[in-house]
Amino acid sequence: MRLHRISTLLLVPLLGMAFSNADEKETAAITEQHRVELIRTFNSDLVYIRTQFPMGKVGLTIKDGKISPNGEKLQELLALWGPSVKPGDRAMITKFDIRGDRFHFEINGGPVKKTKWYQHIQVGMNGGMASPGGPQNDPINNPRGSYVDLIFDHHIPDLTVEQLKQMLWPVFDFDSKSPLDAYLESVPPKVKQAIKDHHVLVGMNRDMVIYAKGRPTNKIREKQEDGTEYEDWIYGEPPQDVDFVRVVGDEVVRVETMKVGGEKMVRTEKEIDLGGPAVASAAQKEEHPANAPTLRRPGEEPSSSRSGSAAPTRIPDTTMPPPSPSPQFSSSPR
């Protein structure tokens, strides 16, 4: 009995060492072979985007499969800096680094970079006085890219190319063949089916409508009774069915369909909830303080108080089509 107890006491530490060695093996640091394979695969690789990336200095991080920032914080960054890329866009990984506990991916040139004081000096050709500010087309001073960091607890484990692609699935799509395929993988199932059926749902955003119906044949901008500005996107012409899609900000709030036989169908109840507030657009109402400065002379009436109501403003169709599947980037603004 005493011998059995001694052997048991000796066996427990040995088992602990065995399990510890197994855990260390599972979380072993990345090997040189896999490091080289990852660098060769992801440097200058083209991917489709599955979520919005903000411009500016702050990018995205992924840890334990969760993206941050998200929700309201992400909406604040998008409103402040604007989006770098959106779901369905094609982007290039312009920089890939392996840094301690993370993989670092920069897309389309990366975010705003920190610069030295002398990089803000511009000297004239005649050797005259130096003036602050670099060239306007300098990608370091005027970038439109962003980044994502894939973070681990202690160190980067030994991963293959396919394993890393799976971990990047929340933000990057390496398998889609076209922008439409990539975009459909980033939306809820109900929206995905509606886009395939070329059907507009109340609650969709502008990009969803474009993917579902294409660019509108005509757009009309008007104001509601409460002063809120909206756009009616018109699809079709008689004698075919005509759809009027009303957009406020970045959200569809009303869909009206005029049938060939004269029947009128109106939908205003939200059919899909994307979550989060809609991104405000320049068309929304602006509020001015009562004592705002003015260029009018004393006693001069503002132009808005003149008699007569303004006719609805027809605006040109500036909505961009879904991104081209070509790997080359367009020089025209989105």
What does the alpha-carbon distance between residue 191 and residue 101 come to, in Å, rounded to a whole number? Answer: 37
Q: What are phi and psi of 295, to 5 degrees?
A: -100, 0
Longest Cα–Cα distance of the chain, Å, equals: 110
Q: CA torsion sign, 334 to 169 to 178 to 193?
A: negative
pLDDT at 127: 53
Three-state DSSP state, 231 = strand
Closest by alpha carbon to 171, among 52, 252, 292, 268? 52
Measured at the CA of 66, the angle between CA 65 and CA 68, to 5 degrees, comes to: 145
Amino acid at 259: K
Mean pLDDT by 10 residues, the chain (334 residues): 49 45 55 90 91 92 94 91 91 92 93 63 54 46 83 90 94 89 90 94 94 90 89 90 93 92 90 64 37 53 45 50 44 42
- Tell me, what's the pLDDT at 179? 87
Q: What is the DSSP letter of 201?
A: -
Q: What is the pLDDT of residue 319?
A: 47
Distance CA 252, CA 278 (A): 10
Q: Are 219 and 314 in contact (CB under 8 A)?
A: yes
Q: Two tokens at 138?
A: 């300098």
H-type helices in 43-187, by residue range? 71-81, 161-167, 179-184
Domains of the chain are 32-114+138-184 (no CATH), 199-285 (3.30.1450)
- Count of CB atoms within 10 A of residue 186's CB? 20
Per 3-state DSSP, what percentage of the chain is helix, strand, and coil (rounded to 5)? 25, 25, 50
pLDDT of residue 276: 52
CB 140 within 8 A of CB 285: no
- Give the single-character DSSP code of 306: S
pLDDT of residue 325: 44
Residue-level pLDDT at 116: 58
> What pLDDT is recorded for position 267?
94
User: What's the pLDDT score for residue 231?
Assistant: 93
Q: Exposed, middle or buried by CB within 10 Å (0-12, 13-18, 19+), for 284?
A: middle
DSSP notation for 12-76: HHHHHHHHHHHHHHHTPBPPHHHHHHHHHHHTT-EEEE-S-EE-SS--EEEETTEEES-HHHHHH
